Structure 1
């Protein structure tokens, strides 16, 4: 029997289950430092199974962003406008989401394998123009740093307080 790694976020209405498979993780929207934007940035989307009333309720895609300083020492998780992993979550649920993100970035072998595969593809890419070379170099630097993130490197967003 092959057991798979999974993480569960218990919300008030349902269980959101992340199964640690590379097909459930996607890296998109890479940015790298330039004169107008001094950060590395990538969006990570994860597919979550939903269980409500002990029955399968479908899947949902949740997203969080990673922003790194130019020197790659400061790493911030940020909330996205759409499909935000922190949306509509109370403090306990937010802590579970933070634990999940930390797991993906620091312990998930599938995430590391996905990043390594992406690095290998980029290194073999046939880039010609200066823009392509710059983009590829920036993306490679970001991906290589993703492989070495430790829990203590990560800063998470604070809960936003809603005031009337």
Structure 2
């Protein structure tokens, strides 16, 4: 569990070196959810509330789609331990959404045909993050992370 906790803290993925323009980091937030379909809605509400608390309302729509897709994929693994959802601010310019689970099964971005009823989730995550997403394998699972750029503050 320590490795998954460390990965959700952001230690295991994409380190950023803050520059002078960054403000102090927001407090990371994590929630543990069961592997049930209704947990996807709980993950959406959690991420939405956290972004609004940080004043990042402009990111809510994209973040909700991202966490929905990643949590849905996690539920589909059939893992029976627990799913962790995390939201981090590794820098003033990035919000990181993390979904950790107990499965070593890696997500795969596929080309869904026009008649397919599923298979487009990771493509949407890829588009919304401009390719800034990835997976950190762990001894007892994995963490999938997706980074959204925060709006550029207006100079005063």
Query: Which category of TM-score, normalised to the shorter sequence, fits these structures?
Result: under 0.3
What's the TM-score once normalised by structure 1's chain length? 0.27
* Higher RCO structure, 1 or 2 (CA under 8 Å, sep 6+): 2
TM-score, normalised on structure 2?
Answer: 0.27
Greater strand content: 1
